[in-house]
Structure formats: C-alpha cells, structure tokens
Chain A
Amino acid sequence: MIRVQREDFDVGAELNKLGEGNLRVGGIVSFVGLVRDVAGGEKITAMTLEHYPAMTEKALADIEAEARRRWPLEACLIIHRFGRLEPGDRIVLVATSSAHRDAAFESCHFLIDWLKTRAPFWKLEETPDGERWVEAQASDDRAAQRWSEE
C-alpha cells in the first residue's frame, strides 16, 4: 500500500494495522526516516520535500511490486510525506510483514534503498545561510546497487 501525504502518520497505529487479522504474519519490520538538524556540518532549520504528484504513487507502487516479486510478503506499506518539515519530523515509513523475519528485514531494507534513488522527491534544505537543494549521494546509488540482480 502506498500513501503520499502532507500529514504526519502514527507509526504504532500503522504497524498494528499491518499485522491485524492476518495470522500468517510472523513478523513486521519497519524503517522510519526523520529530518535531522544537521547536514554536511551545517545547521538545518527546515526541509521542504517537493515531488511529482502525477508520478510519485506509480513510482512507489512499482518499487512495492518489485519487493513483492522478490520476497513472500503478507503486507507492504510505504508512507512518504511532502511539504515543509522541521528537524525531528517523520519523512517516510516503510514497513513489511511476512511469515519469517528474513523476508521482512531484507525487503524493508531493499524498499528504502530503492526509494531513495527511484521515487521522484527532491529536498530543499533551509539553513541560516539560505536555501539549498540536497544533492543525490553516490552512497545512495551504491546502496541501491547492492540489490541489483545479476
């Protein structure tokens, strides 16, 4: 399931829903991404996430479909926020459930790695010296590449 929204989300409530009513679920793994107050040694006062509304949900659904192709998942949830966020705010929730923990751990890790290089979002940071667009990190590309199928 994919949700792209401006509002915050309740991690506990979302994880509860992921397991409820499905007794085949043996474990749930989640990742929550937060806004930090520092980047590259500089103070961050806020961050605005821009996205490509017409494409975002489809891009995330494609990533979910790829995870479901690779692992036997009972449920898969991606919630990604957009708009202006402040340090400490939640940006993204990725959660997966499966009969066994390996599939849940691996697929959750895969989803956040792929999302970082494939979901059409861009971050604009506010610092005391002004605004700046976050540059894509080579380390994120390498993280995504570790999941490439040879």
Chain B
Amino acid sequence: MRLLYFAWLRTRIGKAEETVEPPREVVTVAALVEWLKGRGPNFAEALKNAKLVRVAVNREYVTWDHPVAPGDEVALFPPVTGG
C-alpha cells in the first residue's frame, strides 16, 4: 500500500510518501489511521485531530469508513486551501 502525505501532515510526519504493509485487520481508512498513529510520536501528533485529516483512496476523496486494500494509493492531508 502506497501512502502519500501533504502539507503539514507531510512536515509533521517527516516524509512525503512511503510503502507500507499494514496488518490484515486494517481494512478501512479509520483502521489505517489508528494503525499509523501507533508507528511513532510523529504520526500520533500529526493524526491526533481526526477533524483535520482528509483522505483520498486511489485519487478519490473518501470518508473514514471507506475500505483500503494492498495496492491502494492512500493520501492523507489537511483540508484543502486552493483557489
């Protein structure tokens, strides 16, 4: 599974992207975020406020109950501020 981080999620986590193999029980976005929070203080800090984390799976915005699977591209980022 390919993970991408943008804006302050990227700077707080300390990297722009990585490839991970979460345990088999991680089958939703919510479970993935919980698992990520256990990977270190940088992840716990960056992801502590769920209201400020938006998610896209395979380049489509999704809600936290959306499924994730090996091979997916999952992007985590703050609310967008373009325009």
Contact = CB atoms under 8 A, between A and B. Distances in A.
Interface string A28-65: 00000100000000000000011110110011000000
Interface residues of A, number: 29
Contacts of A135: 78-79, 81
A124 to B, nearest CB: 7
B54 to A, nearest CB: 9
A115 B59 contact: no
Contacts of B79: 117, 135-136
B83 A55 contact: no
Nearest to B8: A133
Interface string A133-145: 1111100100000
B47 interface: no
A136 B81 CA distance: 6
Query: Which one of B59, B61, B83 has the highest number of Cβ atoms from chain A below 10 Å of its Cβ?
Result: B83
Contacts of B35: none
14 contacts: A33-B83, A52-B4, A80-B82, A91-B83, A92-B82, A116-B82, A120-B82, A121-B80, A121-B81, A122-B80, A123-B81, A124-B7, A133-B81, A134-B81
Given A119-B82, A120-B80, A136-B80, 6 more contacts: A50-B7, A116-B83, A121-B83, A122-B6, A122-B77, A122-B81
Interface of A: 33, 49-52, 54-55, 58-59, 80, 91-92, 112, 115-124, 133-137, 140
